[in-house]
Amino acid sequence: SAYRLTGEAVLTFQQANRNQKYVQDATAAIVIDDPNSKITTTYNLYDGITGIAGTLSAYSGLLQFVPIADPGAATSHNNTIVPVTRTLATITSADQAKLLKIYSVTLTPNATGVFAATAENINASDASGTGVMRTFPNADYAGTAIPTDPVDIVCLGGQYNDTMQFSPRFLADITPAAGILEAPIVNISQVAGMINLSWNQVPGATNYRIESADDPYGTWSTVTTTPNLFYSGTAVSKKFYRVIATN
């Protein structure tokens, strides 16, 4: 059966390997696997694409969308996709192809100590447990040293059979882990349909990451990062917030 993705999806990554593209909207994300080059339009990162049509397939547990036609010119440009915060233990199948951010990850270097030009698995760990980082072939980090100190990683969720994976897109997605700083004391109020957070300045902090969740024991998502000591947003019926100081 053929399907058409309703609405607009934003391009978060593309590679020459099988002409793959990663797209996501407000509800989900998916890999477009295009070995027959059905999509001929050239897109830039964070372009919006509307009306993608194709069939569904699965590769070792990874859901893929195989296009049957070119969707045409981008319908928007320079969109913003905020990575969802995950730990290695909380990546699930629902995160396939989704833009994620994992903090304080320690990588186990391969025998050469540098990223290979071919795709490879690199063992990883964080405070929640262990996981697998799957590199992209011919990425711009190929040939660079695999970090031995903890790093924060923006990445795309992946899966191989029962193993959840994560893949950084670019070298810029891998940054030194933010230092461990004291937790700010947060004041929260709701006025005129707005939720207002404010907090004390934390010594050594240069930014503050605001995260929210529907369940304080569930998954937290990044709302924004700011150098300010306050944040305001539209109030909803129930939402939990936390503020994390970073440097």
Q: What is the pLDDT of residues 147-159, one digit of tens each?
A: 998 899 999 999 9
Report pTM.
0.77
Instruction: Identify the residue whose tokens are 């795309």.
Output: 156
pLDDT of 49-89, one tens digit each? 999 999 999 999 999 999 999 999 999 999 999 999 899 99
pLDDT band for 180, please (50, 70, 90 cuts). low
Amino acid code (one letter) for 4: R
Share of the chain above pLDDT 90, in %: 82
What residues does each domain of the chain span? 3-67, 84-176, 186-246
- What gap in Å lies between CA 20 and CA 35, rounded to an integer? 8
CATH topology of domain 3-67: OB fold (Dihydrolipoamide Acetyltransferase, E2P) (2.40.50)
- Residues whose CB is less than 8 angstroms from the CB of residue 204 and which lie 6 or more positions away in sequence, other chains included: 179, 181, 245, 247
**Fold of the 84-176 domain:** OB fold (Dihydrolipoamide Acetyltransferase, E2P) (2.40.50)
